[in-house]
Amino acid sequence: MNKQLHNRVEEIAEEVIEIRRWIHQHAELSFHEKKTSNYITQRLEEIGGGLIITHPTATSVMAVLKTDRKGPVIAIRADIDALPMDECSNLPFASQNKGAMHSCGHDGHAAILLGAARLLVEYKENLCGEIRFIFQHAEELPPGGAVEVIQAGVLDHVDEVYGLHLVSVQKTGSFGIKSGILTSATDCFRITVKGAGGHSSMPYACKDPIVIGAEIITSIQTILSRRIKASEQAVVSVCQVSAGDAYNIIPNEMKIIGSVRSYSIEVRDLIKRLLCELSRGIAQAHGADAENEYEEGYDSIYNDPALTDFAESIITDQFGADQIEHIGMIIPGDDFSEYQKVCPGFFLELGTGNAEKGTEFPHHNPKYVMDEDALPIGVEYLTALVLGRSKAFTS
């Protein structure tokens, strides 16, 4: 264990929490993180130490720490955007911006990365290669900010990339680790049943899209139960249905919108095909038709096994093996997967759950609260990880 690092983290813990609170209070939506990115830039400028600060896109920030020594180029990414919702947490630093709330914990991610940047600058003499701190905009809104910052070159010549997500379902300070596939691919489907409307008293003269749509919704439930192997995992949920404007008019159309979560390309493609076949087949059996749209969202996060092992060894050394939780595949997606298409990467889940601090509300809930004690732990992890990578390279 690096005791000196641990002590130094304790000294800056309060400052990291203050940073998180400022970002929380000034929550901004995807692609609109103007004040947030300005604030991050200011904090990075205060750190100084030769950090080269750039703006890959209008609301993202990157700081580069170059050493004069040969070594790997390591990128660490934090997302910085909030969600479109009103905050009901009653926290003294609750969002001042109506319709924007940091209910996913990205404020914490940004604060952790700023803390790690500060400490790694202090430890520069122990580092080799180059470290890039990426504060990415717009994770919450597919196609997401990752694609844009990668196009802007943030990963050019990068050897490995790291990221984390705070999660309230794990106890504060526990590290959720999984090698290989970690998250689901997150897609959206839209079905439009094209019927023929008319008077409610004469359904025989119409092609009622609501009755056809109801049958389609029921049939969608058989995709997982009857058409996909029990050993595979996926979710298909219908979440939005709309049709009609009056009690006595059969409408022309019905819209069915939902989401698909899957963990393999085969299952993803199969669900995509079955949604189309089922809806068109059922609609046509009733003399109507169905139009299908399928939007592929974020791909699965794939954790490189070697990097996973390395991170696990660092965590065991710095925090103890009892702080590691080997988790299964998780459902929420993240555009961190885009980075891993360019270079190997590792992403973990850091617990912020503490019943005594009222963290029982899930992420994306207007009453979401995080246990901020996890923030310095995140700083310590990232700093120890990068220091460990440099040591492994030079020894």
User: How far is it between the farthest Cα atoms of the chain?
Assistant: 83
Residue, CB closest to Ni ion:
104
Q: Of 53 and 327, which has the nearer Cβ to Ni ion?
A: 327
Q: How far is the CB of 207 from Ni ion (least distance, A)?
A: 42
Minimum CB–partner distance for residue 104 and Ni ion (Å): 4
How far apart (Å, rounded) are the C-alpha atoms in residues 117 and 63? 8
Q: Does 104 bind Ni ion (CB under 5 A)?
A: yes
- 23 lies in the binding site for Ni ion (CB under 5 A): no
What number of residues does the chain have? 395
Q: How many helices (H) and strands (E) does the chain have?
A: 9, 16
Q: Which stretch binds Ni ion (CB under 5 A): 31-39, 85-93, 103-111, 208-216?
A: 103-111
Of the candidates 301, 305, 215, 303, the residue with the CA atom closest to the CA atom of residue 263: 301
Output 28 or 208, the one with its CB closest to Ni ion.
28
Could you say whether residue 370 binds Ni ion (CB under 5 A)? no
Using alpha carbons only, give the angle 370, 373, 376 rounded to the nearest 5 degrees. 120
Residue (104 or 270) nearer to Ni ion, CB: 104
Q: How many residues bind Ni ion (CB under 5 A)?
A: 1
Residue with tokens 């290669």: 129
In whole angstroms, the minimum distance from the beta carbon of 234 to Ni ion comes to: 21
Is position 27 an interface residue for Ni ion (rule: CB under 5 A)?
no
Residue 257: strand pairing partners: 190, 240
**In contact, 241 and 215? CB cutoff 8 Å:** no
Question: Which CB sits closer to Ni ion, 83 or 150?
Answer: 83
- Our CB check for Ni ion shows the closer of 211 and 235 to be 235
Least distance between Ni ion and beta carbon 166 (Å): 8
| Residue 101 in contact with Ni ion, rule: CB under 5 A | no
User: Does residue 51 sit in helix, strand or coil?
Assistant: coil
CB 370 to Ni ion: min, Å:
12
With respect to Ni ion, which residue has the nearer C-beta, 104 or 301?
104
DSSP 279-336: HHHHHHHTT-EEEEEEE--PPPPEE-HHHHHHHHHHHHHHH-GGGEEE---BS---TH
Under a CB-based contact definition with an 8 Å cutoff, are residues 65 and 130 in contact?
yes
Residue 64 CB, nearest approach to Ni ion (Å)? 25
| Six-digit token string for 202 | 């004469």
Q: Which is nearer to Ni ion, 300 or 390 (CB)?
A: 300
The residues that touch Ni ion, with contacts defined as CB under 5 A, are 104
